[in-house]
Amino acid sequence: MEAFYRTHSHLIELLNNPVRRTLMDEIDWDDRVICIKGYRGVGKTTFLLQYARDNYARSKKCLYVDMDGFLFCDNDFCEFVDNFVSYGGQVLLLDQVGKYPGWDSDIRTCIERHSSLRIVCAIASAAVMDDDALAISSVAKFYRLRGLSFVEYLNFSTINKFRSYRLADILSDSAGVIGEVTHSIAPQDFFQNYLHHGCFPYLLEKKSFRESLLKAINLSLEIDVHLARQIDLKYLPKLKQMLYYLADGNMRNTLNISHLADYVQVSRATVMNYLKFMKDAGLLTLTYQENGEYPKKPTQILISNPNIAYVVCPAIGRAAISEIYALYALAAKHQCNKDKRADGYVIDNEYALTFVKPSVAKDDCPDVVFRSRKDNSAVRIPLWLLGFAAQ
């Protein structure tokens, strides 16, 4: 046990001053079991360590454990937890729990055995197919850690402490919100860098951002998707081929599953499964018309995140990036459907969202228009402002 505490202390010491994620303040940390899901490279490990540092310092009441270690290959996890509690431990931070077979059942057993114990676990999105099927589903609270929002990126890049807003507040007082932001900085000066490399914590490291993210994408396909969905390794190149084809905008306006199946030389059913797998891994966004959902055919397929899009297809067009960013900024808190009556989206069944094409001669940030489906009133705002909507 002392070896685990030494590792814990060493990792805390190595922790820099990471961006404080807004999710940190949204979680009810008194819950007995908290499960934090997120795609590879989004910062789940840093998130757990930051919580330990900020709330427990060097106290032995809290312990970070990487479940991908060798100890649990031949040792019982529940016995380890018994030992931890005997040391006075109260909060276990379990990283990569999906690598440990039967993790959910063992966590349930430990929680029922120790009334004072709380467990926070982090797991790759692709490793959990159905939250309700887990043994901890009735006792756990599930959260999703996403990439950095534009607000979080700005707070890291500047000395400001901007806050996020409800979308309704942005639309009702867009001038006021824009004024609060532009009083301190010119957000459009940071926006292109954010779209290119600002959504992942790799920007904090002195490494090649592109190489780090490319490695995360490949590991997500080769490990997370492969293990969770039992895909034969010989078919992984087809996943990559499909991802590149989609990143190039080929299915942004007209979706043809048969054409996609012919392109990668698999069946339509296999294409639908692959799309679902890559969505769960955080690589794709599948949009449907209103009242549509999986397993129905999506209306549109986009790369989930502008940074991923630039890494997979560096020559991706500006219009595609604008749509990817808009859905990335809104989809966490809002229902986003493809508008079958116009070239845009329906947000929360309340607003029609369309994009205003900027002048060819200008290289500034495009605008978006939210039009109320109730009274047809419209609000035009710069695209970057969507990054201030609560995520």
pLDDT tens-digit map of 33-84: 999 999 888 999 999 999 999 999 889 999 999 988 787 777 789 999 999 9
Q: If 0-12 CB within 10 Å is exposed, 13-18 middle and 19+ buried, where does residue 87 land?
A: middle
Residue labelled with tokens 């809290």? 62
Q: Assess if residue 319 is contained within a domain.
A: yes
CB of 186 within 8 A of CB of 252?
A: no
Task: Looking at the structure, tell me whether residues 208 and 314 fall in a common domain.
Answer: yes
Summarize pLDDT for 263-308 with one digit per residue, the tens.
889 899 988 988 988 898 889 999 998 888 887 889 889 999 999 9
Task: Looking at the structure, tell me whether residues 211 and 296 fall in a common domain.
Answer: yes
pLDDT of residue 188: 92
Task: Looking at the structure, tell me whether residues 212 and 72 fall in a common domain.
Answer: no
Residue 118 has pLDDT above 50, yes or no: yes
Task: Looking at the structure, tell me whether residues 213 and 110 fall in a common domain.
Answer: no
Q: Assess if residue 339 is contained within a domain.
A: no
Shortest CA distance to 55 belongs to which of 24, 94, 16, 83? 24
Task: Looking at the structure, tell me whether residues 61 and 189 fall in a common domain.
Answer: no
How many domains does the chain contain in total?
2
Whether residue 295 has a cis bond before it, omega within 30° of 0: yes
Q: Would you put residue 102 in left (φ > 0), alpha (ψ -120 to 50) or beta? A: left
Range of the domain at 287: 151-325
Summarize pLDDT for 232-261 with one digit per residue, the tens.
778 888 888 899 888 876 666 667 889 889
Q: How many CB atoms neighbour CB 15 within 10 A?
A: 14
pLDDT of residue 80: 92
Task: Looking at the structure, tell me whether residues 140 and 193 fall in a common domain.
Answer: no
Q: Assess if residue 30 is contained within a domain.
A: yes
Among residues 94, 112, 144, the one where a domain terminates is 144
User: What single-letter amino acid sits at 5?
Assistant: Y
Task: Looking at the structure, tell me whether residues 123 and 185 fall in a common domain.
Answer: no
Candidate from 8-22, 97-111, 167-181, 313-327 with smallest mean pLDDT: 8-22
Q: Between the ranges 199-213, 329-343, 371-385, where is the mean pLDDT highest?
A: 371-385
pLDDT of residue 253: 63
Rounded Cα–Cα distance for residues 301 and 169 (Å): 29
φ, ψ of residue 351 in degrees (nearest 5): -125, 145
More confident residue, 98 or 171: 171
Task: Looking at the structure, tell me whether residues 23 and 57 fall in a common domain.
Answer: yes
Residue 370's SS3 state is strand
Average pLDDT over residues 367-386: 95
Q: What's the mean per-residue pLDDT of the chain?
A: 89
Among residues 144, 178, 208, the one where a domain terminates is 144
Average pLDDT over residues 353-381: 84
Task: Looking at the structure, tell me whether residues 303 and 245 fall in a common domain.
Answer: yes
Average pLDDT over residues 93-120: 93
CB of 346 within 8 A of CB of 301?
A: no
Q: Assess if residue 163 is contained within a domain.
A: yes
Task: Looking at the structure, tell me whether residues 57 and 176 fall in a common domain.
Answer: no
Q: Assess if residue 203 is contained within a domain.
A: yes
Q: Would you put residue 88 in left (φ > 0), alpha (ψ -120 to 50) or beta? A: left
Q: How many CB atoms neighbour CB 216 within 10 A?
A: 20
Summarize pLDDT for 152-199 with one digit per residue, the tens.
999 988 888 999 999 999 999 999 999 999 999 999 999 999 999 999
CATH number of residue 107's parent domain: 3.40.50.300
Max CA pair span of the chain:
68
Q: Assess if residue 99 is contained within a domain.
A: yes
Polymer length of the chain: 391
pLDDT of residue 361: 47
| 225's tokens | 């998707």
H or E segment and range at residue 318? helix 318-330
Chain centroid to CA 141: how far? 17
Give residues with Cβ within 8 angstroms of 115, minimum separation 6: none
286 strand-pairing partners: 301
Average pLDDT over residues 10-18: 84
Rounded Cα–Cα distance for residues 187 and 386 (Å): 12
Among residues 279, 300, 325, the one where a domain terminates is 325
pLDDT of residue 255: 78
In this structure, the dihedral spanned by the alpha carbons of residues 259, 260, 261 and 263, taken in order and rounded to 10 degrees, is 90
Task: Looking at the structure, tell me whether residues 221 and 246 fall in a common domain.
Answer: yes
Residue 250's SS3 state is coil
Q: How many CB atoms neighbour CB 360 within 10 A?
A: 6
Residue 259's SS3 state is helix
Pairing of strands 351-356, 345-347: antiparallel
62 strand-pairing partners: 91
Q: Would you put residue 285 in left (φ > 0), alpha (ψ -120 to 50) or beta? A: beta
φ, ψ of residue 42 in degrees (nearest 5): -80, -15
Q: Assess if residue 26 is contained within a domain.
A: yes
Q: Assess if residue 305 is contained within a domain.
A: yes
Q: Would you say the C-alpha torsion 100, 101, 104, 105 has a positive or negative sign?
A: negative
Residue 28 has pLDDT above 70, yes or no: yes
Average pLDDT over residues 120-131: 83
Give residues with Cβ within 8 angstroms of 296, minimum separation 6: 288
Task: Looking at the structure, tell me whether residues 198 and 254 fall in a common domain.
Answer: yes
First to last CA, the chain: 38
CB of 352 within 8 A of CB of 373?
A: yes
Residue labelled with tokens 């979680």? 27
pLDDT of residue 252: 65
